[in-house]
A and B are shown apart, each in its own frame.
With several copies, the nearest count.
Chain A
Amino acid sequence: MIEKKKGDINQRSKLDLDQKKIESARKLANKIALKTQNVIEQYTTTSIERSVCRLLGIDGVDNYNVPLPNLVVDQVQRANKLEKGVALFIGNAMLSEQDSPQRIAGSISRGEIDITSLNFNDIDSIKRILINKSKERLNLIEKKSSQRQELLKKYGEKSGPYIYVIVATGNIYEDITQAKAAARQGADIIAVIRSTAQSLLDYVPYGATTEGFGGTFATQENFRLMRNALDEVSEELGRYIRLTNYCSGLCMPEIATMGALERLDVMLNDALYGILFRDINMKRTLIDQYFSRMINAYAGVIINTGEDNYLTTADAYENAHTVLASQFINEQFAFLTGLKEEQMGLGHAYEMDPSIENGFLYELAQAQMSREIFPKAPLKYMPPTKFKTGNIFKAHIQDALFNMITIITDQKIHLLGMLTEAIHTPFLSDRALSIENAKYIFRNLKNLGDEISFKKNGIIQKRAKEVLDKAYKLLEEVYSLGLFDTIERGIFAGISRNINGGKGIEGVIKKDVSYYNPFIDLMQKKLFRGDK
């Protein structure tokens, strides 16, 4: 656990928060994370093993469009040997066949080889060949990461909030049109929303896709096409446009891998989302989350956590503290994988019922509090959604208030609200109007945050204190219950899930002592010790 030094808080606290309480909360969260981490490290999952395949260079699909990583892992799982990890079998085959992982996978797909029934070579040779291959592949990822750094150096970093918009036409080519237009209009981050329920697919679709509902499939080719398009438009605008996708659901670590390879910049990555809103088994996704965060950390990707989602089913006024508590826990989980604070886009949302008197003050308190408690994190702030109606005029004002909070409290990743939120995924013009709204507010209120301070013990300060207190109590509860029990009790988002229920549990495998995954070691060394 990394402790915050006083100096870290570069902004003088406007909320007069109890710094000791913050420190204790952080310590509690750290203990909660460690407790869970003990369980996590005992397991692997089918999706982690598939991403090991991908990391080793296996890609493509068979004639039935089944991805090769699935075929490889299936073979090992069918032989009941996944507890050792797929890597050992691939490494062994590489030695035996003197071939590449990709070509071995091709043989598997054609039914020409069973890698679980090959004679085992010397374990050290297997590990050596795997480590070499892994280093070579991790180098690719590092190159992508340096490329990002170079581009950022070339164009310069933007000060102030990043304007984040989504595209969701279902067709990657149409998405590109929309994304480029949005960038020209002023967007800094483009998120390609996934087709509904992709998170429930236990494989990643392949190739460029043009049919999706409420979003476009996340595929490696789609990632590549969009990143290219955004590189073009970045060049045109002299501004680096970031790309985002969803790294959640049953294929979490695979998507992290694809994103690392295709230079995605931001990834929505949160186990809780899948557990609560997709009924994915909690162990499965927490285990997956650990490995995927490590990949994100390694690739220099900013993660976005999903606390905002809680408030779509629970009341924002009553349950604000669950958001803060979850941010504390997510921060610790992230630290454990080697993520830096600068990569932690912890989530929160403007979801207060607009009919509440002084609602804006409570939102201001919450946002300012997140800012002060996580001063270095590029917080990801979600717009009003739940209380949007078909009244597009009112919705536009709701977004204006949200834009204000961001500029007053200096949020970093600012997901724009849309005036048509309650109607459809954004039209080209909706996005343009929203960007205009945000740019107008950001410019017009630019320095308001520096100019104002809050009344001692006023509504705003009191609210922040109250939320912090309640979050602290909740963390105590979570610590005593453990995270799994806490979720079972429906404490987050008012939704309860069973530890052995939900989708994907069949993909959770207890590791054997012989389990081997070359990437964990290599990445951890780099992330924690700075090894090259």
Chain B
Amino acid sequence: MTQNLKPQDREDPEKKLDLTKLKPYGDSMNDGKVQVSFTLPVKISLKAIEAAKYLAVKMGLRDPLVAHSQDLDNGFSFFIIYGELKHNIDYTNINVSAIDLEIMSLKEINNFIKKKFKRKLIVIGASTGTDAHTVGIDAIMNIKGYAGHYGLEGYEMIKAYNLGAQVSNEEFVKKAIEENADILLVSQTVTEKNIHVQNLTHLVDLLEAENIREGIILICGGARISNNLAKELGFDAGFGSGTSPEMVATFFVKEMDRRLNS
């Protein structure tokens, strides 16, 4: 007969959430379940399946199950694998250089600028390099904005210039100097072969060469941009998918305030 079990059994430490040893979750705490897929450039065979399994073991999967293998072409095989990850991480120790500000509203931002800086802020934005994707930068800058949020052009206390796409870093810096910009916004969508990293690094170099990097709040954004990456590349902040104009504006007015008034 089955044993009776009481709620106390849930206290089993193996089955308790321990944030210092956070593990993936399939259907039970700490089961470590993960799904992996990849292609190997070898013909499908039992040996290829075994190879896929070994690679999964190297990734830290205990007992990996090759749930699916598929011939992609002579010489390529595709695998879908499930297994239990032996790795865990100390969640309490994770350091997100996240932009963790209370987001202000359009009105609050305008008031903040009026009160603190007593003038309009000058913002210049573009999708730089050979990148032709404008939808991201438009979402932040165009008055019609994005998902119901007005873009920066709609802010009374912001003078916004949206240069569009395919703007060379040189042109961009020239415009920044001409307009005496406070804030620069750079959008990057194409990231194949890390072309965005090259392009963003080049911009920082140019700004430094012109000796204007210090005086400017430099921000980048795009679907594959994270704040961590942005900081590594010498930007003040980076914003990814789902950014709203308010998020960016809150960041730069606070940052400006910090720089000027502290």
Q: Which residues of A contact B (CB under 8 A)?
A: 61, 64-66, 168-171, 173-174, 178, 180-181, 184-185, 196-197, 200, 203, 205-211, 213-214, 217, 277-279, 312-313, 389-393, 420, 422-429, 432
User: Residues of B contacting A392 with CB < 8 Å?
Assistant: 35, 67-68, 80
**Cα A169 to Cα B9 with chains together (Å):** 15
**B193 and A170 form a contact (CB under 8 A):** yes
How many interface residues does B have (CB within 8 Å)? 45
Which single member of B2, B3, B68 contacts A390 (CB below 8 Å)? B68
B72 within 8 Å of A by Cβ?
yes
Q: Which residues of A contact B135 (CB under 8 A)?
A: 312-313
Q: Is B195 an interface residue (CB 8 A)?
A: yes
Known contacts A312-B135, A391-B70; A196 and B65 CB within 8 A of each other: no
Find the A residue at minimum CB distance from B12. A210
CA distance A515 to B130 in the complex (A): 36
Set A206, A207, A279, A420: member contacting B164, Cβ < 8 A: A279
Hey, which chain A residues are within 8 Å of B5, CB to CB? 207-211
A294 to chain B, nearest CB (A): 28
14 contacts between A and B (CB under 8 A): A181-B76, A196-B192, A196-B195, A205-B1, A207-B5, A279-B164, A312-B135, A390-B241, A422-B67, A423-B67, A427-B27, A428-B26, A428-B39, A428-B76
- B104 contacts the other chain (Cβ, under 8 Å)? no
User: Which residue of the partner chain A has the closest CB to B144?
Assistant: A494
Kindly list chain A residues whose C-beta atoms are within 8 Å of the C-beta of B57. Answer: none
- B70 partner residues in chain A, CB cutoff 8 A: 391, 432
B53 at the interface (CB under 8 A from A): no
Does B148 belong to the interface (CB within 8 Å)?
A: no
**B26 and A427 contact, CB distance less than 8 A:** yes
Digitize B8-37: 1 where CB-to-A-CB distance is under 8 Å, 0 elsewhere: 011000000000000001111100010101
A173 to B8, CA, bound (A): 11
Closest Cβ of chain A to B31, distance in Å, is 9
Flag if B82 contacts A424 (CB, 8 Å). Answer: yes
* B residues lining the A interface (CB < 8 Å): 1-7, 9-10, 25-29, 33, 35, 37-39, 65-68, 70, 72-74, 76, 78, 80, 82, 130-132, 134-135, 164-166, 190, 192-193, 195, 223, 241
> Which residues does chain A contribute within 8 Å of B241, judged by CB atoms?
389-390
Question: What are the residues of chain A within 8 A of B10 when measuring CB–CB?
Answer: 173, 210
Measured between beta carbons, the chain B residues less than 8 angstroms from A197 are 130, 132, 166
When distances are taken between beta carbons in the complex, the residues of chain B under 8 Å from A210 are 5, 9-10
B130 lies within 8 A of A200 (CB): yes
Across the A-B interface, how many residue pairs have beta carbons closer than 8 Å?
126
How distant is the Cα of A169 from the Cα of B70 in the complex, in angstroms? 22
Chain A's interface: helix, strand, loop or mixed, by majority? loop
Cβ contact within 8 Å between A427 and B4? no
- List, in ascending order, chain B residues with CB within 8 A of A313's CB: 134-135
- Cα distance A169–B78 in the bound complex, in angstroms: 19
Give A389 to B69 CA distance when docked, in angstroms.
10
Verify B72–A181 contact, CB threshold 8 A.
yes
Query: In chain A, what residue has the closest Cβ to B242?
Result: A389
- CB-based contact B27/A428 at 8 Å: yes
Asked if residues B33 and A213 are in contact (CB atoms below 8 Å), the reply is: no
In the complex, the answer to whether A214 meets B166 with C-beta atoms within 8 Å is no
Distance between A417 CB and nearest chain B CB, rounded to angstroms: 16
| Min C-beta distance of A321 to chain B, whole Å | 20
Q: How far is the CB of A191 from chain B (nearest CB, A)?
A: 15
Inter-chain contact A214/B28, CB cutoff 8 Å: no
Residues of A within 8 A of B192 (CB): 170, 196, 213-214, 424-425
Q: How far is the CB of A230 from chain B (nearest CB, A)?
A: 14
Write out the residue numbers on chain A whose beta carbons fall within 8 Å of the beta carbon of B26: 424, 427-429
Q: In whole angstroms, how far apart are the Cα atoms of A315 and B135 in the complex?
A: 12
A-B contact sample (12 more), CB < 8 A, given A206-B4, A313-B134, A429-B78: A65-B2, A168-B27, A173-B7, A178-B27, A184-B74, A185-B73, A196-B131, A197-B130, A209-B2, A278-B132, A279-B166, A432-B70
Cβ-defined contact, A213 with B190, below 8 A:
yes
A contact residues around B132 at 8 Å (CB): 196-197, 277-278
Inter-chain contact B27/A208, CB cutoff 8 Å: no
Name the one of A184, A196, A200, A422 contacting B73, with C-beta atoms under 8 angstroms.
A184
User: What separation, in Å, do the CA atoms of A180 and B135 have in the docked complex?
Assistant: 34
Q: Which residue of A lies closest to B37 (CB)?
A: A429
**B233, chain A: closest CB distance, angstroms:** 18
CA distance in complex: A210, B15 (Å): 12
Complexed CA–CA distance, A341 and B151 (Å): 44
A428 cross-chain contacts in B, Cβ below 8 A: 25-27, 39, 72-73, 76
